[in-house]
Chain A
Amino acid sequence: MDIYEKLAILSEAAKYDASCSSSGSGRSSSEGQIGAALPSGCCHSFTADGRCVSLLKVLMSNACVYDCKYCISRRSNDFPRATFTPRELAELTIEFYRRNYIEGLFLSSAVVGTPDWTMERMIEALRILREEYGFAGYIHAKAIPGADPVLTQRLGLLADRVSVNIELPSEKSLLSLAPDKTKHNILEPMGLIKNGILENREDITKFRHTPKFVPAGQSTQMIVGASPETDYHILHLTESLYKKYGLKRVYYSAYVPLQEDALLPSLDTRPPLLREHRLYQADWLLRFYGFEASEIIDPKKPMLHPEVDPKCSWAVSHLDDFPVEVNTADYEMLLRVPGIGVTGAKRIVRARRNQKLDFDMLKRLGIVLKRAKFFITCGGKTLQKIPETPEMMIYSLLAPNRMGGFTDYGMEQLSLFEPVLTGEDVIGCLTGEF
């Protein structure tokens, strides 16, 4: 089988993994012969579905001995199989990298033979890249659950980021849909990596030449919509992963039905993209906006609001805290204003240090007032009468598109009333990578 065919099969098999980020690691080129990693990452292309292409994302092999029901590489599926040699893969990575197609490699694998054998092959590919080519670009590698801890350790010394996929949000679902995997198998390497990172941080301060261990941290992914867990359950799980395991990112992947199985949603189920989108928005609030999961979601209403994004939802149920005065509100509070993001809040803080802001200035700073205007004052003035009750507020926020208008915000809502492509276009934009 030639490399062309292998690449086709092994990228096809890897595409359902949502993560493609190349951020979080700074490696200077002086560390190697070729390549450097930027802390902010870089997307070199976007797929036809609008997701960022930053890394060469492939499986080492798709010849799996396991039989996870939701996966196209499972043992019982009739699908062509291929396996890269470590050297082939390393060379391909370098050639793509030189041409500025990619930032690096995202290497995952099906379980070929045993977890150990699989990991050894992956490690060999990374070793060739790092040692023989002197590659200092970004590498994200999947740790294979069930492999010897020594191998996970070695993988961590070669990669910038390591991830272990949670796959399904509960042990029960794992048991029924991924019978070869166990919660323990997944959490064990996660804990190992977490401790490895902590120890490494200490060592680095003590000894100058300590090699870096997983400098970009670890991440995970779970499939949404293949099993019955609620958003409430998922967001609390996410929060504990951030807190307990110090994860850098949790990815959500809307389940795309690929096979018929009584335990899975039927084949004509559409991937729950809107739900995935809301989860990413909520996740964003956890990571960058200082929210707690319990503020975002209520056990009595365990699913995120489909029509209103989680930040608006929160604001609408806390109308007493608004309006806030942009000239004096602290940064954390500005971040909680619907329509003001991290960039906007930072610009406001920078600009108001030197002068008092009015609404014209806000516009010049690029603040979109469509939603924000209901929640702020500027020098004591409001731009519009502020709705007094939560119901009226929701009505005002959604009003333009109820009347058929296309607002930047309203576009997204359209899809709820008519299943047209445009709604999803907008949704998809936000789900891939922020």
Chain B
Amino acid sequence: MIRVGVIGYGTMGQVHSQSYKELENAALTAVADQEPKRREQIEQELGVKAVSNADEIFQDESIDLVDICVPTYLHEEMIAKAVEAGKHIFVEKPLARSLDQGKKILALTKNYRKKVGVGHVVRFSPEYVAARESVQQGEIGRPAVVRTFRGGSQFPRGWQDWYADFELSGGVILDLVIHDIDYLRWVFGEVERVYAKSTHGRTTAHLEHAMIVLRFKNGVIAHVEGSWTNYPGQFYTTFEFSGDEGLISFDSRKTAPIVQITAKQSEDSKDVVIPENPFLVSPYTAEIADMVEAIKDDREPAVTVQDAFDTLRVALAAVESAQTGKVISL
């Protein structure tokens, strides 16, 4: 049984905690959050120990794995403490806010005797896994131009509104588009150069839209796009991979197998339309199951620190390109 402590009970901490509860070979032991309201929630929703300080998790010798779900800019400091305490580590993406932090994490975890995994969850999303297999089986021939989109939902509101502070979150590129950057690296290999545009710094509207052009070492040209909106929109993703023998096209808005529509029940309620896309195992549970198994089997987890660092480099190059207007060669 792998005993787990989660740090940070915000959006992702809640998702991860639920996933551990679903696993038979893991036991969620404690969750840390310094917000009293969050700790109330932890006790109510999970029935596990809620602690206010992450140090209590690091010091708890019964805990094997710490799962870091605090805001991005705090990842490095938490990883450092977890390494000092000799824990296995699972950390949300992006690996860090800056290249410096990323390098420190690389150095800290080099030759580390415990496992460290990073939550690039798209590698566990069935549609993305299936598309990768299709490409690898040569179903589109030689890949040439690829496009991805991720977004359409409202600008995220995190603890102390940290997402709105570019210095802390890195904006939509580092936080959201990085999912696709990582996925594309996984499918098409390393990136040669990056040219990016973002609305960040161009408007006071509470939104960010970014469009990135990537050129891969194998020649593939990619258009990678993401958005946080200032209106209450629906989150969706799309991808399209074209090759010399075929084309893959996906739009999450068109793949929900179930739509439930219910008439309003009273004068002041509303008609409700709920699309559903059920899977027995969510991608989040799958990534966490992989991490737990990696510890048990003494193997590397699906996404290593080096891998996440290489993705981080590309994402930060895109951020830099968007700010400077320059092409960044990697």
Are A and B a genuine interacting pair, yes or no?
no
